[in-house]
A and B are shown apart, each in its own frame.
Chain A
Amino acid sequence: DAKTTQPPSMDCAEGRAANLPCNHSTISGNEYVYWYRQIHSQGPQYIIHGLKNNETNEMASLIITEDRKSSTLILPHATLRDTAVYYCIVRVVSSGGSNYKLTFGKGTLLTVNP
């Protein structure tokens, strides 16, 4: 699986958009980008995933660059409850092999300030 690089920490003002970057320059054509977050003392929470098109759901938007070497998770109106560690993970599509193993790095600690 491709390696991902994220900044260790970021701050955001409440009500503003939080833009969390992720670099995955070695991503392959059959790898998806997944985002999870982990709020203190809880388990990881699935946010969104995508292959090459931008995706949006009720939680966030995922913008993937055309060359797929990087992506940005956008929380449009951050709240204090969005304070968490955000993990960017690449996951291979193939039905064979061990594509079910999620590899969590250190992620980005997003702190939303009042």
Chain B
Amino acid sequence: NAGVMQNPRHLVRRRGQEARLRCSPMKGHSHVYWYRQLPEEGLKFMVYLQKENIIDESGMPKERFSAEFPKEGPSILRIQQVVRGDSAAYFCASSQGQGINQPQHFGDGTRLSIL
């Protein structure tokens, strides 16, 4: 998984706090995707961003969750007022483009634990 950097690897928050997860895509990649993996489940798509634009956020809960990918800096997934059900592994992936021969490459994720 060299290339896509996520931090922190582990994040512990108390209920009601905010969680900020960061993702730096592979060099040369301008497309970023966030996925969530609940315990014992497969990854589920949350949001797709290109530089400064949200392309598709259909998989992201409408309340408390937001994502951005600014012109400079990493992509950020923000969860406000966290609840126990937000405990999961959050993975970021990046690609050069949307084309079929441009696979998504994943980071090693951020494991969020809510106390």
- Chain A residues with CB under 8 Å of chain B are 32, 34, 36, 41-46, 49, 87, 91, 93, 95, 98-107
Q: Which residues of B contact A106 (CB under 8 A)?
A: 42
> Is A42 a contact partner of B1 (Cβ separation < 8 A)?
yes
CA distance A93 to B102 in the complex (A): 11
> Is A45 a contact partner of B103 (Cβ separation < 8 A)?
no
Known: A99-B98, A99-B100, A100-B31. 15 other contacts (CB 8 A): A41-B108, A43-B1, A43-B107, A43-B109, A44-B91, A44-B93, A45-B106, A49-B101, A49-B103, A95-B99, A98-B56, A100-B104, A102-B33, A102-B43, A103-B45
- Chain B residues with CB under 8 Å of chain A are 1, 4, 6, 31, 33, 35, 42-45, 48, 56, 58-59, 91, 93, 95, 98-101, 103-109
> Is A46 a contact partner of B103 (Cβ separation < 8 A)?
yes
CA distance A45 to B91 in the complex (A): 12
Chain A contact surface mostly:
loop
> Is A46 a contact partner of B43 (Cβ separation < 8 A)?
no
Q: Which residues of B contact A87 (CB under 8 A)?
A: 42
Q: Which residues of B contact A107 (CB under 8 A)?
A: 42
CA distance A36 to B103 in the complex (A): 10
Partner of A100, one of B33, B105, B106: B33
Q: Which residue of A has the minimal Cβ distance to B46?
A: A101
Partner of A95, one of B43, B98, B104: B98
> Is B91 a contact partner of A43 (Cβ separation < 8 A)?
yes
- Contact A104 B33, CB 8 Å, known A34-B103, A43-B106, A45-B1: no
Q: Which residues of B contact A42 (CB under 8 A)?
A: 1, 108-109
CA distance A101 to B1 in the complex (A): 19
> Is B100 a contact partner of A32 (Cβ separation < 8 A)?
yes
Output the least CB separation between B111 and chain A (Å). Answer: 8
